[in-house]
């Protein structure tokens, strides 16, 4: 079964990139990577609790605005 039929919104995917600033350092910039087809839904109470309590050091005290679902072959990183 494919989930492509459930994806109902187009969103812009931005990523923080380090760009050389010309003085030997780097500046952080949010760069538009591409548009994604996604499904956005409201988080359930259990999803909010899991995000706040953490599932390991990467997700401890995370702020969960809403879950976003996409196809399994999309490359989306944390904080995108």
Structure tokens that stand for 61 in this block: 């005290």
Neighbouring residues of 45: CB distance < 8 A, sequence distance ≥ 6: none
Over the stretch 13-54, which tens digit does the pLDDT of each residue have? 888 889 899 899 999 988 899 998 888 877 666 666 665 555
Helix boundaries (H) for the chain: 45-53
Q: What is the pLDDT of residue 27?
A: 92
The verdict on pTM exceeding 0.85 is no
Token pair listed for 68: 């976003």
Nearest to 11 by CA among 46, 36, 40: 36
């Amino acid at each position: 079964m494919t989930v492509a039929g459930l994806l109902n919104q187009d969103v812009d995917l931005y990523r923080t990139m380090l760009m050389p600033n010309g003085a030997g350092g780097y500046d952080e910039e949010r760069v538009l990577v591409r548009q994604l087809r996604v499904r956005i839904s409201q988080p359930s109470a259990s999803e909010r609790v899991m995000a706040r309590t953490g599932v390991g050091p990467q997700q401890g005290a995370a702020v969960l605005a809403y879950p976003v679902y996409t196809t399994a072959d999309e490359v989306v990183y944390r904080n995108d």
